[in-house]
Chains A and B, each alone.
Chain A
C-alpha cells in the first residue's frame, strides 16, 4: 500500500495536479507515525510512511494547508473523510485546494496495547494471518492482532469514503457498529456511579491539550480556553478545572459537529476515554432528532443548528438516568 501511495503521489506531483503532499513520516519510535508535508519525489521516497501504526487523521492540518498557495494531495482514510467534509461544511478548508485520494482504513494498532503485554523496544510489526509478529530489540514477540488494535478501530462506524477525488483500493460500506454500547452502560449506572467513573477518569487529566489540538472539530481561530474574556480561560491543571469543566465544555463545543473520529482518545497520554462524552451527545442527538452523522455530507443542517416544527423539547422528553 505504501508503495502504491508513494507512486500515486509522485505521479500527481509530476503531472502538476498537486504541489504538495500531506502524509506521514516516522517519529522517534516505530509506532510514532506523524503527519508530514512532502514537496518532492525524493522526500516521499525517503520518508513517506503508511503502515499499521498510521492512524493520525490529517484532515485538521488541511485547515491551514488548504489556504496556502497551490494544491495539496491528502491521503484520507474513511473516518478522515467525515472530518474533512465537516470542515468543508464549516468553511474551514478550501475544498478546491485539496486533491483527496481515498485509502483503505484500519484497523490500526495501538502501541500502548502491545506494551501492556510487556512487549517493549518495538522496532516494527508484521500482521501474519491475524497474528502480530513484533520485532523488538529483545527479539521477536507475538500476540493476537485484534488484541492490539485501537479502540476507535474496534468500533469503526464506516469503511466508506464520503468524499474523494480518487480511490486506491475498493470502496467500503457504512458499518453497523456497536459504538454506543459503552455509552449505554454509563447511562444505566446510577448518578453516583457515573459521577465516580468520570471523576476517576477526568482527574487523570494533565491538561496537555492533546485532545483539543488533535480534534478536527476544534479549529477555532481563538479557543475559548485561551481567551481571557471567555470566562473559562485556563491553561494549566492548577485546580479541578479539568475534572469539572474542561472536557465537558469541549464536548459541548463540538456537539453536533463531532464525527466520532476517535482521535481525542487515541492521543490522550492518560488513556481517558474522552470519545465517550462525544458519543453520548451523538446518541442523544440520534434519539431526539433522528439519525444524524456529522460530516456525512456538506449540505445538511445539523440538528442542533436547525429548528423544525416537530422538534422535541429535549428537556421534557429526556428521562434522566437511574437515580
Chain B
C-alpha cells in the first residue's frame, strides 16, 4: 500500500491569494493512499523542506506530492530533500498550482477547485511512480563555438585560457564578423580594428584554438557532454596549409568586378580575394561564381603566379566530424534588407546608405580611403540626414517589433565623427526617442548635441526623394515644433534594424534549441540563466540572443565561456533517468520510433524470442541508448503498439493523471 504525503505551498500570496490552500490540503488528504496532507507558507524554504523530510521519516512515506510552483523552479529542491530523507528522488511529483493555476485565475472558488484537481492528478501519478537511478556519462573536454565574430572570438579565448580545446566554425573566409567592418566604437571612439585585430591574432596563435573558416555546421547529434558535430569545410579552391597570404594572386586576377561584401558592395574586389588586410586566417579564397577558370575553364593566372602552388581548382567541400562537450552559439546579426522601404529611396539613390555602409565609407580601408564622399559623384556632402528606427520598433509586418538597441549610440557616433572631421557639414538626426542607457552613453550623446551641435529633431522622416540636381529632398515632421520640414540633403543615412543571421534558424533545429518569433535564440531563463539555452550543453553568446552592443556582447561571451568551462571541468555528468525503453515482447520493429527520435538514440537489434506457440523466432526490436535519450517522449506516441514507454512519464501514469482530472 502506498503511503503518500501531500504538501501544499502558499508561496506567500502568490498561490494563497487565489487558491484556498487549506481547502486543497484538506481535500487531497482524503485521496486514496494519502496519509498526511499539510500546507505551509514557503515549502521551498529550509523549514518547509524539513517539513517534507520529517514527514517522510515519521510517516514512512513512499511517495510525495508537492503542490507549488512549476517543476522547472523547485522540482530539484524537493527531489534533493526527499533523497536526504532516504526516499528515492523520483518518487516526488510536483503539482503546478502557481503558473498553471493561481497566477492565471482570479476567482478563488474555481481556482481552488482546479488546484485540487491538479493535486489529485499528481497523487494518481505518484501511485504509479517507481524509483529511478540516474546514470553517468562522460564529458568530452572540447568546445565548439559557432560564429567567429567578436562574441565567438571572446568565448573561444576564454575557454582556451581555462585549458580546454576549442574550435571556431566561421562561415566567412575570415573571422572578425561585423566588428571588423566597423570604423570607430562608441563611447570611446577608438578604432574597431585596433582593438579587434589583436584578439583575432590571439585566437589564431592560441594552440588550443582551431579556426575552421569558410565552414558551416552540417549536422549535430548527441547530447550535453557528448555532441558529435559534422562540420562542412566549404571548398575555397586554395590549400589553406600552403597559402602564405602574399596577395599576389589577388593583384593579378583579371576578374576585378566582383562586388566587395566587406565594403558592403561599395567597391569591387577580385574573384580570388582576401577579405581585408588583417584577415585571419590570411588565406585567399576563390569565389566560384566569378572565377573564369571555374566557370569556363579558361584563365588559371592565380595558379601560375602562386609560388607555393596553393591553388587547387579541383578542391571539394569536405565534411569533418568532431566530438564536443559543449557548444556555444555566436551567430550574430545582420542589418535588415531595406527593399520594402521605398519611402527612403534606398534602392533608387546611391547617396541613401545604411549606417553599416557609412562605416565603410568613413573607414581608412574603405572604398574612399577614409574620406567621406558621396557614392554617386564622389563629392563631399555638406548636409547629412540620419534617420533612426528604420524597421525597428515597427508594428507593421515590414519591420521588427523590437528596439535594435545599438542605433541611437552609433548614430550619435557618426554624427559626432562627421562634425569633428568636417565642421562645415550640417548633420540632422530624426528620432522617435533617444535611448542611451549604459556607462558613459548618455554623456556621449549629450556631447554630440551640446558640443558638436548636431541637430536632433524628434520626428520621423516621411519621404526621401532624389532630385535631378543631385540633392535629396527629405520631408519630415518636427513633432516638438509641430511643423513640416523640407531638407535639401546631400546624403541620407538609414539606421536599419538588426536581425539574427539567417543561418540561425536551421542551426536551432539542428541543436534542438528554442527561438523566439524574431529568430533570436531563447535563453533558459530571461533573468537568471541569460547565457544558457534551454537545451543542456548549448550556450548563447552575443547578438544571436538579442540586440547587443560590443561591451555587452563581450560580457555575454565571457559569461557563456564561464558556463561552458563549468561543464567542461566535470569528468562526467549525471544523466536523466527519465528515458525511454522498449518492451521487446511488444515491439514490432517497425522503425516508427527511430524515425521520430531527434537524438538518434534508437537502434534495432535482431533477437531470438520464445513465442507463445512455443516456437523460437528472430525478431527485430528497438533498443534505446539511455545515455543519448533525452526523454522527450516522441517515440512513445509514435509507437503503434505502445511498446515504447518513458520512465517517470509512463503511458499508464499519464492516463491515470487524465483519469483523475476527468473524474
**Chain A positions near chain B (C-beta within 8 angstroms):** 67, 89-92, 219-224, 227, 229-231, 253-254, 257, 301-302, 305-307, 309
| CB within 8 Å of A: which B623-663 residues | 638, 640-643, 651-652, 655
Residues of chain A lying within 8 A (CB to CB) of residue B587:
221
Chain A residue with Cβ nearest B638? A305
Q: A67-B618, A222-B641 are in contact. List 17 more A-B contacts (CB 8 A).
A: A90-B592, A91-B604, A92-B588, A92-B589, A220-B588, A221-B619, A222-B586, A223-B641, A229-B652, A231-B651, A231-B652, A257-B640, A301-B595, A302-B595, A305-B592, A307-B596, A309-B509
| CB within 8 Å of A: which B572-603 residues | 585-592, 595-596
CB distance from A239 to the nearest CB of B (A): 16
Partner of A219, one of B588, B591, B638: B588
9 pairs from A and B in contact (CB 8 Å cutoff): A67-B618, A90-B588, A90-B591, A92-B588, A92-B589, A92-B590, A220-B588, A231-B655, A305-B638
CB distance from B58 to the nearest CB of A (A): 34
Residues of chain B lying within 8 A (CB to CB) of residue A306:
595
CB distance B642 to A227 under 8 Å? Answer: yes
CB distance B641 to A221 under 8 Å? Answer: yes
CB distance A309 to B586 under 8 Å? Answer: no
Kindly state whether residue B230 has any CB partner on chain A within 8 Å: no
| Cα A254 to Cα B588 with chains together (Å) | 14
CB distance B506 to A253 under 8 Å? Answer: no
Say yes or no: A91-B595 contact (C-beta < 8 A), given A220-B640, A223-B641, A224-B642: no
| Cα A90 to Cα B509 with chains together (Å) | 26
Say yes or no: A91-B590 contact (C-beta < 8 A), given A231-B651, A301-B595, A309-B509: yes
| Cα A78 to Cα B239 with chains together (Å) | 56
Kindly state whether residue B83 has any CB partner on chain A within 8 Å: no
Chain B residue with Cβ nearest A87? B590
CB distance from A185 to the nearest CB of B (A): 29
Say yes or no: A230-B588 contact (C-beta < 8 A), given A91-B620, A306-B595: no
Partner of A224, one of B505, B641, B652: B641
| Cα A220 to Cα B618 with chains together (Å) | 15
Say yes or no: A90-B655 contact (C-beta < 8 A), given A221-B585, A223-B641, A224-B642: no
Residues of chain B lying within 8 A (CB to CB) of residue A231:
651-652, 655
Chain A residue with Cβ nearest B586? A222
| Cα A125 to Cα B587 with chains together (Å) | 45
Chain A contact residues: over half helix, strand or loop, or mixed? loop
CB distance B638 to A221 under 8 Å? Answer: no
Nearest first, the 10 closest Cβ-Cβ pairs linking A and B are A90-B590, A220-B641, A231-B655, A305-B595, A222-B586, A91-B589, A253-B640, A230-B642, A91-B620, A224-B642
Chain A residue with Cβ nearest B621? A221
CB distance from B244 to the nearest CB of A (A): 42
Residues of chain A lying within 8 A (CB to CB) of residue B588:
90, 92, 219-221
Residues of chain B lying within 8 A (CB to CB) of residue A223:
641
Kindly state whether residue B617 has any CB partner on chain A within 8 Å: yes
CB distance from B539 to the nearest CB of A (A): 23
**Chain B positions near chain A (C-beta within 8 angstroms):** 505-506, 509, 585-592, 595-596, 604, 617-620, 638, 640-643, 651-652, 655
CB distance from A222 to the nearest CB of B (A): 5
| Cα A91 to Cα B591 with chains together (Å) | 8
Partner of B617, one of A67, A91, A253: A67
| Cα A181 to Cα B596 with chains together (Å) | 32
Chain B residue with Cβ nearest A218? B640
CB distance from A5 to the nearest CB of B (A): 30
| Cα A12 to Cα B595 with chains together (Å) | 38
Chain A residue with Cβ nearest B593? A305
| Cα A231 to Cα B658 with chains together (Å) | 11
Partner of B585, one of A222, A257, A301, A307: A222
| Cα A184 to Cα B620 with chains together (Å) | 40
Residues of chain A lying within 8 A (CB to CB) of residue B505:
309
| Cα A302 to Cα B592 with chains together (Å) | 9
| Cα A219 to Cα B592 with chains together (Å) | 14
CB distance from A257 to the nearest CB of B (A): 8
Chain B residue with Cβ nearest A230? B642
Residues of chain A lying within 8 A (CB to CB) of residue B638:
305
| Cα A257 to Cα B505 with chains together (Å) | 31
| Cα A257 to Cα B591 with chains together (Å) | 12
Residues of chain B lying within 8 A (CB to CB) of residue A222:
585-586, 641, 643
Chain A residue with Cβ nearest B640? A253
CB distance from B584 to the nearest CB of A (A): 9
| Cα A38 to Cα B506 with chains together (Å) | 55
Chain A residue with Cβ nearest B584? A221
Residues of chain A lying within 8 A (CB to CB) of residue B641:
220-224, 227
Residues of chain B lying within 8 A (CB to CB) of residue A257:
640
CB distance from B261 to the nearest CB of A (A): 26
CB distance from A96 to the nearest CB of B (A): 14
Residues of chain A lying within 8 A (CB to CB) of residue B604:
91
Residues of chain B lying within 8 A (CB to CB) of residue A91:
589-591, 604, 620
CB distance from A308 to the nearest CB of B (A): 10
Chain A residue with Cβ nearest B604? A91
Chain B residue with Cβ nearest A63? B588
| Cα A257 to Cα B641 with chains together (Å) | 14
Chain B residue with Cβ nearest A257? B640
Residues of chain A lying within 8 A (CB to CB) of residue B596:
305, 307
Residues of chain A lying within 8 A (CB to CB) of residue B590:
90-92
Residues of chain B lying within 8 A (CB to CB) of residue A230:
642, 651
| Cα A307 to Cα B651 with chains together (Å) | 23
CB distance from B590 to the nearest CB of A (A): 4
| Cα A307 to Cα B596 with chains together (Å) | 8
Residues of chain B lying within 8 A (CB to CB) of residue A219:
588
Chain A residue with Cβ nearest B596? A305
| Cα A303 to Cα B604 with chains together (Å) | 22
| Cα A302 to Cα B587 with chains together (Å) | 19
| Cα A231 to Cα B618 with chains together (Å) | 29
Residues of chain A lying within 8 A (CB to CB) of residue B642:
224, 227, 229-230
Chain B residue with Cβ nearest A302? B595
CB distance from A83 to the nearest CB of B (A): 14
Chain B residue with Cβ nearest A306? B595
CB distance from B656 to the nearest CB of A (A): 9
Residues of chain B lying within 8 A (CB to CB) of residue A305:
592, 595-596, 638
| Cα A230 to Cα B506 with chains together (Å) | 38
Residues of chain A lying within 8 A (CB to CB) of residue B643:
221-222
CB distance from A57 to the nearest CB of B (A): 19
CB distance B586 to A220 under 8 Å? Answer: yes
Residues of chain A lying within 8 A (CB to CB) of residue B652:
229, 231
Q: Which of A90, A92, A302 has the most CB of B within 10 A?
A: A90
| Cα A113 to Cα B336 with chains together (Å) | 67
Residues of chain B lying within 8 A (CB to CB) of residue A221:
585-588, 619, 641, 643
Residues of chain B lying within 8 A (CB to CB) of residue A302:
595
Q: Which of A89, A221, A231 has the most CB of B within 10 A?
A: A221
Chain B residue with Cβ nearest A67? B617
Residues of chain A lying within 8 A (CB to CB) of residue B585:
221-222
Residues of chain A lying within 8 A (CB to CB) of residue B506:
309
| Cα A92 to Cα B592 with chains together (Å) | 12
CB distance from A76 to the nearest CB of B (A): 21
| Cα A89 to Cα B655 with chains together (Å) | 31
| Cα A254 to Cα B587 with chains together (Å) | 16
| Cα A254 to Cα B641 with chains together (Å) | 11
Chain B residue with Cβ nearest A252? B640
CB distance from B609 to the nearest CB of A (A): 9
Residues of chain A lying within 8 A (CB to CB) of residue B509:
309
CB distance from A286 to the nearest CB of B (A): 20
Chain A residue with Cβ nearest B595? A305
| Cα A231 to Cα B638 with chains together (Å) | 17
CB distance A227 to B617 under 8 Å? Answer: no
Residues of chain A lying within 8 A (CB to CB) of residue B589:
90-92
CB distance B586 to A227 under 8 Å? Answer: yes
Chain B residue with Cβ nearest A223? B641
| Cα A306 to Cα B598 with chains together (Å) | 10
Q: Which of B588, B591, B618 has the most CB of A within 10 A?
A: B588
| Cα A226 to Cα B591 with chains together (Å) | 22
| Cα A67 to Cα B640 with chains together (Å) | 21
